[in-house]
Structure 1
Amino acid sequence: MNNSGNCIDKKHYVLVHGACHGAWSWYKLKPRLESAGHKVTSLDLAASGINMKKIDDVHTFSQYSQPLLHLMATIPKNEKVVLVGHSLGGLNIALAMDKFPKKVAVGVFLAAFAPDTEYRPSYVVENYIERIPPSEWFDTEFAPSGNKTSILLGPEILAKELYQLSPIEDLELAKTLVRPSSLFVEDLSQQKNFSKERYGSVPRAYIVCTEDLTIPIEYQLWMIQNAGINDVLKIKGADHMAMNSRPRELFESLQKIAAKYA
């Protein structure tokens, strides 16, 4: 214990959701981390969860990431957070690491898109889209939205590819709460690479979900190798939504990573 009565190893976890989801997707993990004495911020990105913006009014990936970038700007200079990005959220945390490298103890990619410093930020998403046969998007709705394509995950793809090992209640919650989002490929393909000196200087860890049908394990492993991430943990039996299908194992994995870096 230190003088203020807090546990010395109290960490600040910042949890960043994936496309079409929101802060709500962390509802099982957040109380677990908090009851272990940590500070947890799970936020809604623009046009996600209860954020009031509509996806049609969000034109760039940077605008989509604004709630996270705003939070990072408010973190005191002498503090560092444990940034956790799920799925598309891996690109949001990479952007935050690139802009605020000194405020991040470690960036954790949970079954997430993990960019490198050699290619444009869109590279890992474009490469992924090329590998997915159209039939595997099931009932996902794609629509033109200004300078980008919006995407809405339907009940079938949620059930078959994201939540197939999660409790049925979590699938129902998702079917009720998902909102249109975007992969922002058009904008990301115009952006500069994340830099070796900034993004590349922050410790990175990857949590592989072995039963993920959304971002299959082969692709997770390819991104890990491509991005040069050395610290890799696996959660056996986790679908894409590890926070629902394996919340205890995810909690333990994050504790392990944070103990090493934060």
Structure 2
Amino acid sequence: MGNAFACMPRKEQRAAAAVSRSKRMGSARSARGGPKLTPAEEELLHRQALAMAIHQHLDAGGSMSRRIDAGASLSRRMAPGSTSSRRRGDLPDSVTNAKAAQIVLENLETKKIVLVHGEGFGAWCWYKTISHLEEAGLEPVALDLTGSGIDHTDTNSIATLADYSKPLIDYLDKLPEDEKVILVGHSCGGASVSYALEHCPKNISKAVFLTATMVKDGQRPFDVFSEELRSADVFLQESQFLVYGNGKDKPPTGLMFDKQQIKGLYFNQTPSKDMALAAVSMRPIPLAPIMEKLSLTPENYGTVRRYFIQTLDDHMLSPDAQEKLVRENPPDGIFKIKGGDHCPFFSKPQSLNKILLEIAQIQAPAALLPGKASSAQEAAVEKS
């Protein structure tokens, strides 16, 4: 239920979701690791994705028609010279976005990449990324979290991060014991990835946080955005973006920005056709999961390698906020996308693809490989 793409037969995936064009492109394109599409191919791919999204939207009962009065202005954040609106081309790149080398599939720890969408999105948002990764010979899987995409769960009924992340945990639990995947989480999907690292670390080879909520132990996903949206207490009291699905006399259950604010926050560099796709596909954001504090331990969460991808023209999670995240919870590697907004799978799909291919090729340290032990572990065994 939670998988918008994997739940369909392979042939139908390619036709309806436009996630594979190997029959049209030929094997030569796959060998080159995903070359740039022609305008005609890009247009066809987008039309197929848009058609599927509209169909899913109608099946879900037109969830995007639910709007709230969002009169509060975000002009403070969008004003020229503000922290969130500044271009950050002056930031040093820990890892450059140079052209990726040809990928050698035999050298990969795993070819399976699980894509976890952010708040309000669904598996549909990864349609370009899925196409590029498949052309490179990898096996991407995009999931719908609870109440997202074509999962018809009422977002107002989602009470915990565990509820919200259940499709991801169920997927990982069903993997063969010796199979691992790479998780990629976007925005608040980073909280679901962190939750999975704590509960299913043995199934995860690497975790990639794409301008995402890479929280620390005891931190809430919302805290990552507190500088942008004010403190949680003030936000819950004053925000006009809140959805009261159980009545005004009950605590808020969701969050939804209006169309213009979504455009300014998420899509400031995104092509208009992808904004049209989002307009018929995005759903209200369940509030409880992003207000929940995570419990993360070194024994579980701390055993998986983490990588963070920064986007340098991001209005939703500013470059300064992203820098703070990686400074306070250092990952194993940092990558940066210049000119990318909060949704680089739309605005910079080629750059994102190159980085994901590069991360996929990073080998585990010898101490983490099966049958290997670190010198400290070996010493401990000898002493025992």
Pair in the same fold by TM > 0.5: yes
Cα drift, residue 114 of structure 1: 0.3
Match runs of 1:131-210 below 5 Å: 131-132=228-229, 141-145=241-245, 149-184=253-288, 188-189=292-293, 191=294, 193-210=295-312
Identify if the C-alpha distance between structure 1 residues 221 and 186 changes in structure 2 by more than 3 Å, giving closer, same or farther. closer
The structure number with the bigger radius of gyration is 2
Aligned to 2:175: 75
Match runs of 1:247-262 below 5 Å: 247-261=349-363
Amino acid at match of 1:251: N
CA distance in 1, matches of 2:331, 2:275: 31
Identify if the C-alpha distance between structure 1 residues 197 and 127 changes in structure 2 by more than 3 Å, giving closer, same or farther. same
How large is the Cα RMSD of the aligned pairs? Answer: 2.2
Secondary structure in 1 matching 2:280: helix
CA distance in 2, matches of 1:254, 1:228: 19
Secondary structure in 2 matching 1:188: coil
CA distance in 2, matches of 1:86, 1:186: 13
1:196-219: CA deviations, max 9, x gaps? 111011100000000010000110
Are residue 61 (structure 1) and residue 161 (structure 2) matched?
A: yes
Is the Cα contact below 8 Å between 1:18 and 1:86 reproduced in 2?
yes
CA distance in 2, matches of 1:75, 1:39: 14
Identify if the C-alpha distance between structure 1 residues 140 and 103 changes in structure 2 by more than 3 Å, giving closer, same or farther. farther
Amino acid at match of 1:170: D
1:96 to 173, 179, 196: 196
State the TM-score, normalized to the length of structure 2.
0.61
**Gaps in structure 2 of 5+ consecutive residues:** 1-103, 232-238, 365-384
1:111 to 206, 211, 229: 211
Identify if the C-alpha distance between structure 1 residues 61 and 145 changes in structure 2 by more than 3 Å, giving closer, same or farther. farther
Secondary structure in 2 matching 1:206: strand
Secondary structure in 2 matching 1:28: helix
Regions of 4+ moved over 4 Å: 145-148
Amino acid at match of 2:336: K
1:239 to 341, 345, 350: 341
Identify if the C-alpha distance between structure 1 residues 202 and 148 changes in structure 2 by more than 3 Å, giving closer, same or farther. farther
CA distance in 1, matches of 2:182, 2:291: 27
Cα drift, residue 145 of structure 1: 4.2
CA distance in 2, matches of 1:245, 1:186: 25
**Gaps in structure 1 of 5+ consecutive residues:** 1-5
CA distance in 2, matches of 1:111, 1:240: 7
Identify if the C-alpha distance between structure 1 residues 164 and 99 changes in structure 2 by more than 3 Å, giving closer, same or farther. same
State the TM-score, normalized to the length of structure 1.
0.88
CA distance in 2, matches of 1:153, 1:103: 35
Are residue 18 (structure 1) and residue 118 (structure 2) matched?
A: yes
Cα drift, residue 182 of structure 1: 2.2
1:122-145: CA deviations, max 9, x gaps? 1x52252254359xxxx9731234
Count of residues in Structure 1 that have an aligned counterpart in Structure 2: 249
1:37-92: CA deviations, max 9, x gaps? 11111010000000011112211110010100100101111111110000000000
